Structure 1
Amino acid sequence: MMFRILKYLPLLFIGMLQAQEEVIHSVYFEFDKFSLKPEQLQGVVDFIRTTDSTRIETIEIFGYCDDRGKDAYNFKLSQNRANTIQEEFLKNGITNKVIVTIEGKGRIMIDDDIVENIPEVRSKNRRVDVVLNLKPLPKIQLPGYYNSIQKNHVVGDHIYLDNLLFDRGSSVLTFKSKADLAKLAKLLLRHKNIEFEIQGHICCTPRYQKEAVDRHTGKRKLSHNRAEAVYKYLILKKVPKSRMTFKGYGNSVPLGKGTEYDRRVELVITKI
């Protein structure tokens, strides 16, 4: 389903993001069906029940179909799939007060770059996504993870900027991101001995797709492109190329703290 087990966590400090966190749980349907097995229905109800209820602000339910068939039929089928989940929630005491969206989205077209395992991809597209919108987590502090340049760094320290955020599916820097990066660049120019890797990360992609599609390029290189965008901006601000590298890590390094922390670009110090 959706939660990944965190196997490796070399990470140290994170500041609270102001953006609302989304947690997504997917349930899959057989071809041309909108009914589910009892254990599938129980699984999606358990997903809600095991989430901290004090953090749930709203629930959204989105139904989808694969790319076969006519649009009108697929919109109706995807809506029926969403309705199936809503009805199960209501049976189990999850009220419409928090369910703000029940929408059938119709077909999901297959990306041009996917040429293998098309039957598997189609099976993953016959689904309903239950999206929980959660209140922000409190500030998490772990040693060695910072939101600005410090006087006494060590190799392996991470620099995480609170406003270094991207729109979903985008690698374009926002105004706030540029403002924070401009301040960071000034500090980097003072601390000329620091070398670092710019690491791009993503969230919310299936396990079989380690990287996400950048909607601006149509290529499955979103984390790479986000890291490169930061790299190019720091070059624009006169930070020498020789001091930095960049790399996209896709969804391979989740923090285990929620998706809002996984849509990130961070600097990891490689040399002092």
Structure 2
Amino acid sequence: MKRLVVIILVALNSMFVFPQRELKQEVYFETNKYKILPTEESRLLLFISSLSDIEIASISIFGFCDDVGAPDYNLKLSQQRADAIKAIFAENEISESLISNVDGKGEVLLNIVEEDNVVKLRGLNRKVEIIVKEKPPKPKKAVDTTKIVEEKKEDAIELIKGDLKVGDKIVFKDLLFKTGYTTLTPESKKVLENIANALLEREDIFFTIQGHVCCTQFSRDAVDRETKLQNLSEARAKVVYDYFAKKGLSKKRMRYIGLRRRFPLGGDPKFDRRVEIVINYVDE
């Protein structure tokens, strides 16, 4: 009997569907404006930061206005507000491919909430609503270690140890950063140490460390959420530069630059949050 109960529980568990979690945020605007207020931008950046630890399925951005003004004007203004929020997402390394809707909905009727103060009601309707849907958790699969070994054969360390010439580029594909930050993912820290040790053995090469970002518009750099400066690609390269120097690499052998989003790799955006090196000189 006990064995039968276990079988039933397992069957029910396999049929269970995890609900798709939604995270919501509202951003409010001044009358006739679509420029984001500093206080509202700070609230929005805190919300974006909270998305770093989840896997996003889709993002919807809906702009609204109050009931003052002509319908055509309100529709245009609501779209401008939605577009302004989308631009903030792009500056903070949120992939445009995740944004499924950016729509201006025009004016909102005043009686959508229980509030007698008309002025306050209109203020609540001058807004953008953001809805982020999280991907449901994936079932865990067994890891094929043989495949991993095959994929790692031509990694950065092997390339560093090999025959290098001026102009060679080595992409640190396993050196990944947290969205919007110069912070390496936990699994990348050991990778960086191994790369530094390999470079210590190659005293004959001089190189440039190039930092990149993902998802921004028009080849712009992303905002470093820690410093609030729009220089994230350079800041990532400097983190690697400083680490190499701390490990004992001569600063005369290396320099660092930020290349913004000028050279996207395509595919998963996380691979564009990367650092690579280009060989400048090989001492014969």
When normalised by structure 2's length, the TM-score is 0.49
Q: CA RMSD in A?
A: 4.2
Q: How far 1:25 sits from its partner (Å)?
A: 9.2
Q: 2:221 pairs with 211, 215, 224, which one?
A: 211
* Residue 78 (1) aligns with residue 129 (2): yes
The residue correspondences of 1:249-264 to structure 2 (distance < 5 A) are: 249-264=259-274
* Residue 196 (1) aligns with residue 177 (2): no
Code of the residue aligned with 2:245 in structure 1: it is: I
Cα distance between partner residues in 2 of 1:253 and 1:22:
24
User: Secondary structure of 1:215's partner?
Assistant: coil
Q: 1:153 pairs with 164, 167, 170, which one?
A: 164
Cα distance between partner residues in 2 of 1:270 and 1:60:
39
CA contact (8 A) 1:171 1:222 kept: yes
Q: How far 1:249 sits from its partner (Å)?
A: 0.4
Code of the residue aligned with 1:166 in structure 2: it is: F
Code of the residue aligned with 2:227 in structure 1: it is: T
Identify the structure with bigger relative contact order (alpha carbons < 8 Å, sequence gap 6+). 1
Determine the structure 1 residue equivalent to 2:247. 237
* Structure 2 alignment gaps of length 5 or more: 1-52, 64-75, 81-96, 105-119, 136-146, 149-153
Q: How far 1:227 sits from its partner (Å)?
A: 0.2
User: Secondary structure of 2:278's partner?
Assistant: strand
Code of the residue aligned with 1:222 in structure 2: it is: L
Structure 1 outlier segments of 4+, above 4 Å: 19-29, 59-65
Determine the structure 2 residue equivalent to 1:226. 236
User: Based on CA coordinates, which of the two structures has the bigger radius of gyration?
Assistant: 2
Gap change, CA 1:258 and 1:210, over 3 Å in 2: same
Code of the residue aligned with 2:191 in structure 1: it is: D
Determine the structure 2 residue equivalent to 1:123. none
Q: 2:176 pairs with 161, 165, 182, which one?
A: 165
Code of the residue aligned with 2:207 in structure 1: it is: F
User: Secondary structure of 1:31's partner?
Assistant: helix
When normalised by structure 1's length, the TM-score is 0.51
Q: 1:31 pairs with 65, 73, 77, which one?
A: 77
* Structure 1 alignment gaps of length 5 or more: 1-18, 35-50, 52-58, 83-98, 102-130, 132-137, 140-144
Cα distance between partner residues in 1 of 2:206 and 2:54:
32
Cα distance between partner residues in 2 of 1:152 and 1:20:
41
Q: How far 1:223 sits from its partner (Å)?
A: 0.3
User: Secondary structure of 2:255's partner?
Assistant: strand
Q: Which has the higher helix share?
A: 2
Q: 1:176 pairs with 187, 191, 194, which one?
A: 187
Cα distance between partner residues in 2 of 1:202 and 1:170:
10
Q: How far 1:161 sits from its partner (Å)?
A: 2.5
Q: How far 1:252 sits from its partner (Å)?
A: 1.1
Deviations 1:247-270 (A, max 9, x none): 000011122445233211111111
> Number of residues paired by the alignment?
172
CA contact (8 A) 1:166 1:174 kept: yes
